[in-house]
Amino acid sequence: MASTLAHAFTAAQAEFSRAAPLVQCLTNIVVPQITANALLAAGASPAMVDTPEEAADFAAIASGVLVNTGSPTAAQYTAMREAVRGATANDTPWVLDPVACGGPAARTGFARDIVAHRPAAVRGNASEIIALSGVSGGGRGVDSTDEVAAARPSPRRRSTTRPPLSTPPVTSPPAPVRWWRFPAPGTSLSPTTV
C-alpha cells in the first residue's frame, strides 16, 4: 500500500511539474509569500492577482485559482467573487480555503455563497467544513474545535456513486461533505468518492 501511494504521489508530482501550472492566488495577508514559495518549489508559477479589476480576466487564463478567505477586505471579497466568476466561466479549477468559516457571519455567508459555484476542492479544518455545510457554527477563529470524524458524512448521507469530474469534495449546503482518495497508479487523476 505504501509503495502504491508513493508511486501515485511521484507520478502526480511529475505531471504537476511538467505542466508548470499558472496559479492565481487570492489569499490572506499572513501567507502570500509562503504560498508563492510553496507553489514555486512544487514547479508552479504563482500569481498574486487579487484586485477586483483583474481577478476575473486572470482567472480565465490561469491553470487554477486559490480563494483563501483568511483576512478579507471589501475589495478582496469583490476580487474573490470575480475570480470565481472568471474561473467558472472558463472551466478553470478553483480551490476554496474557507478560513474561519463559522466565525464571522459575513465570512461564513460569503463562503457559503461561493461554494455554490462548485470549487474543484475545498481545503479546511473539520470545524470550517462543518460550518460550510451549514450543520453547525464553526470553530474558534481559525482553530478547529471539532474532530475530523465529525466532518465526515453519516452513513445515511454518504454517496455511493462515482461523481462526475465537476463535482467538488464539498457541495453547496446542505449537501454532504465528500471525501476523496488518490487513484491507483496508472489511472487518471479523477477523484472517487470514499
> Concatenated DSSP letters for 119-160?
-SEE---HHHHHHHHTSS---BTTB--S-HHHHSPPTTT---
Cell reading at 44 = 508552479
Name the more confident of 30 and 150: 30
Determine the Cα–Cα distance for residues 157 and 178; give it in Å rounded to an integer: 10
Helix axes 126-133, 105-115, angle to 10 degrees: 70
Dump pLDDT digits (tens) for 122-160: 988 888 888 888 777 666 666 665 556 666 666 544 443
Per-residue model confidence (pLDDT) at position 115: 94
Whether pLDDT at 166 is above 70: no
What mean pLDDT value characterizes the chain? 78
Does the pLDDT at position 165 exceed 70? no
Residue type present at position 65 = V
Residues in the chain: 194
Distance between the two ends of the chain, CA-based, in angstroms?
Answer: 16
Domains assigned to the chain: 2-6+21-193 (3.40.1190.20)
- For 57-96, what is each residue's pLDDT tens digit? 999 999 999 999 998 999 999 999 999 999 999 999 999 9
Considering only CA atoms, give the Rg of the chain. 17
Percent of the chain beyond pLDDT 90?
Answer: 48
Half-sphere exposure of 183 (CA within 13 A, CB side): 11
Report the C-alpha gap between 109 and 89 in whole angstroms.
22
Q: Is the pTM of this model over 0.85?
A: no
C-alpha cell at 186: 496508472
Q: Look at residue 129 in the predicted model and tell me its pLDDT.
A: 85
* Average pLDDT over every residue of 4-9: 89
Residue of 143, 115, 116 lying closest to 128 (CA atoms) = 143
Higher pLDDT, 165 or 4: 4
Q: Does 151 or 110 have the greater pLDDT score? A: 110
Q: Which three cell numbers stand for residue 113?
A: 455563497
Sequence-ordered alpha helix ranges (H) in the chain: 2-19, 32-42, 52-61, 74-89, 105-115, 126-133, 148-151
Which 3 state secondary structure label does DSSP give 117?
coil
Q: For cell 487518471, what's the residue?
A: 188
The H-or-E segment that residue 93 falls in is none
